[in-house]
Structure 1
Amino acid sequence: MDRSAAPAVSRAGDRAITVRPELVPLLKLAGPVVLARLGIMVMGLSDAIVVGRYSAAQLGYHALGWAPTNVVITMVVGLLSGVQVMTARAVGDGRLGEAGAVLRRGVVYSLWIGLAATLVLMLAGPPFLHAIGLSKDLADGASAPLLIFALSLPPYAVSVAASFWLEGLQRPGAAAWAMWIANGVNLALDLLLVPGTFGLPALGAVGGGCATLGARTALCLFMLGYIARMDEARALGVFDRAPRDPKAEAEQRKIGLGAGLSNFFEVAAFNSLNVIAGWIGALAVAGWAIVLNVTAVVFMAPLGLATAAAVRVGSAYGARDAAGARSAAATAVLVTAVYGVVLALAVWPLAGPIARLYTDDAQTLAIAGAGLALTCLMFLPDALQVVAAQALRARGDVWLPTGTHLTSYIVIMAPLAWCLAIPEGMGVKGLVWAVILASLVSCGLLLARLWQLDRRDSRLSRFASV
């Protein structure tokens, strides 16, 4: 083949990986996304702190009521990730008018998914809590907040679809602002309902659930209103009834299904650790709730970086720029590695003071402080695995991350956590060690796959240019 006639994408695909040109676009996109993801967990953090300061027992009810809904929420977020990737691909390929079709599909999917999840949790949630070996007091106390959390799923699912669409357009600022406004609504309702301010009855964990319901409804309304009022909404096809595109619909569902199953495996396994903590005792539940809540807040930044990586890699993939996709993935991995190390070094000496933000109970503090310090070993591999998984999905490798999460978190982490925590008598520390080891396995497998695909694409691009 004449080298001068080689396609531009082949020559571009043969370029070496460059990090610096990708750094600014990645961080510019990741910044608001990280703020939005952090806002998600700060909402839960506000609930946990206000409820925990009111009563350690109510914090346990809140944590156990939250656990089943959190599994569903994370699965919903995964199922809708196709909105993000398909929007980024359409933009990368210059097909802006198709972005509206992606949004319309995403909103319909999200509404049906949210309603189905609410129905399942309301019917099966309380019986599930009573069937898993918890004490009757814990199961009864957790059932009421679980029902309230379940009601918040439809508006939250719709807001996720809208947020992902804006992120796919590389316009995440509005979603970030909306999330923090919703946090203000949530905190105000927490302070009003949990302890019973202005003569209202103290609702404890149920009040925390009601605050979340109000905040998520406000978030949904804001996001839909913002998109409808965008100047370019019509140009993006937001109001157009697009013709059916079975191939695009199937791809959007496939990406979402792969991510949804991954999230389900991971979060179901993590929340099964709540059950194991419940078998240990009420104080272990409260201590583990603090550990899990703090690590989840730390995890929001890598989740935001993963979103930015998916958008940047997906945009390059849509433009058929192999080198751009490799550079976007490599930059995201490097930034995430720095973040994981810095956060571990920052949180480790502050584990005790952080735990005291949640409770003054000495026994709970001892459990949570030791668990938080140990959890710092997890920050780096856990952050890297989620970024690598999203980069793989954005370039079309959907099912390997799903299999990796099944292996790491269901097959390895869950049984190991039980073994270390109960038969070995390590308690909450045993739960943390199981998470660390599972994260290392997941991180290693996903990074190896990303490296393998980069090597393959580089060889193919060199062959095509000959």
Structure 2
Amino acid sequence: MRLSGPIAVSRAAMMLMGLTDVIVLGQNAPSELPYVLNSWLPIGVSLGLTMGLLLGVSVLTAELAGVGRGAETGRIFRRGIKFSLWFGVLLTGCIILLVGPMFRALGFEEAVASGTASVSRILALGLIGHMLTHVAGSYLEALRRPLVVTGIMYFGVLVNLIIDLAVVAGWWGMPKMGADGVAIATTGTRWFLVILFLVAVARFTPAFKASPEGPPDENRRQFSVGYGMAVSNVAEWGGFNFTFVVATWISTAATTIYGMAVHVIGFCFMAFLGLGTATSVRVAEAYGRKNADQVRDASRLGVIACGIVGVVLGVLVWLFQSPLASLLVRSDAEVADIAIRPELIPVIGFTAFVIVFDGLQNVASMALRAQNVIWPPTFIHVGSYFLIMIPATWYLGLVQGQGAIGMMYGVLIASIFAGILQTLLLERKAARRLKPTRRSRQSAL
């Protein structure tokens, strides 16, 4: 908990930026919220892909630190930075060129397509900044410096809010730029954070100090350990973000309601991302020491903690569904002649059931990857979020005419499937590649 708490708080800062964007936009221009939500289809998929490929920064750093070789980890960090720069340039160029035709091909109305493309291009300019801060944050956390990351991220929340109030709400005489203003706030904040993170890394870690060459296969392993997570992220993030497209096919009102409810899930998910990261660090350390018992203990502890935290968060969301809706959108807000808040309240309440299983699949899959079980959790993610969630949300929300609440039923079905299967897989596969320790053999006897 000492490790996962600061990480969860830090990750919550990332989601809090997005939630701040939704709140400020929902209070000033709720009809433009679909532009922001749909823009995260290309941006979210790109981030999910790169965060998966960069998982090795955390895993390899934790392994070296776990055996007392933390001073050698600078090469791991620098390798992640180089990858972020060249791959980020490639992705940024692709997004800027392709988003316009892509959203028109999806059948959006011209106003929605052009508005979404504009937001996507602005967000794309911050993509490299997202990648660099992710590398630096993961590196600091793996070296047990999570409070540094937390402090920087919450300063970023404040900066993001100030820019939102200026260019979205129109404070201090600034023009109200709506969804484009949200994108400007996100991109500007991300590049500001890059500077702070690089200073912190230089101050508190051996990132820029000379380090000996690693084993011949270290470069390949640093990125291969994240292949499965990259595919999983594309499936999960791409699946979730494509459901915004489905919601837009229903109506802009359905997109607004569903998108606000998903942000509640996303904010709670940051707690599970903290638990998953802490679990993966402890599992990776034990795996580096070749201690099978500690790998199993760390894995099971992560799952149990996730269940407890999930139930608590679910109860809180259920109890405070009405105040949460009031926070997200003003009482008189209408989109396409539909009052948003009365429709939003029950959808937020229903997210309480999604939260537990969504967290469970994340913690279990991260514990698996920390011990190099790569592809089985990936197949579960692809099956859950592409083969189950997208068809279920389309059928229940669009075909059956249940709107946003029907789409949330589809999300729950996929989350239950993913959460249970990932947990069962973890229990079966934990420490399977390590020889049993003496305590394990005695327990078996």
**Structure-2 residue corresponding to 1:442:** 418
1:97-135 deviation digits (Å, cap 9, x = unpaired): 331111111111122232222111111112211110111
**Contact 1:66–1:146, Cα closer than 8 Å, also in 2:** yes
In structure 2, C-alpha distance between the alignment counterparts of 1:277 and 1:368, rounded to whole Å: 14
Which of 367, 382, 394 is matched with 1:391 structurally?
367
In structure 1, C-alpha distance between the alignment counterparts of 2:207 and 2:234, rounded to whole Å: 32
1:135-159 deviation digits (Å, cap 9, x = unpaired): 1121122221111111011111011
Which of 253, 256, 267 is matched with 2:223 structurally?
253
Q: Does 1:238 align with 2:221?
A: no
* Structure 1 residue 453 displacement after superposition: 2.1
* Structure 1 residue 237 displacement after superposition: 5.8
SS of equivalent residue, structure 2 residue 108: coil
Aligned residues: 436
**Structure-1 residue corresponding to 2:393:** 417
Q: Does 1:207 align with 2:154?
A: no
* Structure 1 residue 67 displacement after superposition: 3.5
Which of 290, 295, 298 is matched with 1:328 structurally?
298
Given residue 392 of structure 1, which amino acid in structure 2 is its aligned partner?
Answer: L
1:82-107 deviation digits (Å, cap 9, x = unpaired): 11111111111222233111111111
**Contact 2:292–2:431, Cα closer than 8 Å, also in 1:** no
**Structure-1 residue corresponding to 2:278:** 308
Question: Which segment drifts farther, 237-246 or 142-151?
Answer: 237-246
* Structure 1 residue 459 displacement after superposition: 8.3
Q: Does 1:280 align with 2:250?
A: yes
Given residue 301 of structure 1, which amino acid in structure 2 is its aligned partner?
Answer: A
Q: Does 1:192 align with 2:166?
A: yes
1:64-93 deviation digits (Å, cap 9, x = unpaired): 223421222222222211111111111112
In structure 1, C-alpha distance between the alignment counterparts of 2:425 and 2:172, rounded to whole Å: 57
1:47-74 deviation digits (Å, cap 9, x = unpaired): 1111111111122222222342122222
**Contact 2:34–2:248, Cα closer than 8 Å, also in 1:** no
Given residue 415 of structure 2, which amino acid in structure 1 is its aligned partner?
Answer: S
**Contact 1:92–1:317, Cα closer than 8 Å, also in 2:** no
* Structure 1 residue 455 displacement after superposition: 8.1
**Structure-2 residue corresponding to 1:64:** 38
- Change in 2 beyond 3 A, CA 1:171/1:191: same
Q: Which runs of 5+ in 1 are unaligned?
A: 1-26
Percent identical residues: 34
State how 1:46-445 maps to structure 2 within 5 Å: 46-230=20-204, 233=205, 236=206, 238-240=208-210, 242-243=212-213, 245-359=215-329, 360=331, 361=333, 363-445=339-421
What is the aligned-residue RMSD (CA, Å)? 1.8
In structure 1, C-alpha distance between the alignment counterparts of 2:430 and 2:182, rounded to whole Å: 46
**Contact 1:92–1:315, Cα closer than 8 Å, also in 2:** yes
* Structure 1 residue 244 displacement after superposition: 5.9
Question: Which segment drifts farther, 118-127 or 363-372?
Answer: 363-372
SS of equivalent residue, structure 1 residue 395: coil
* Structure 1 residue 374 displacement after superposition: 1.3
- Change in 2 beyond 3 A, CA 1:58/1:101: same
**Contact 1:113–1:157, Cα closer than 8 Å, also in 2:** no
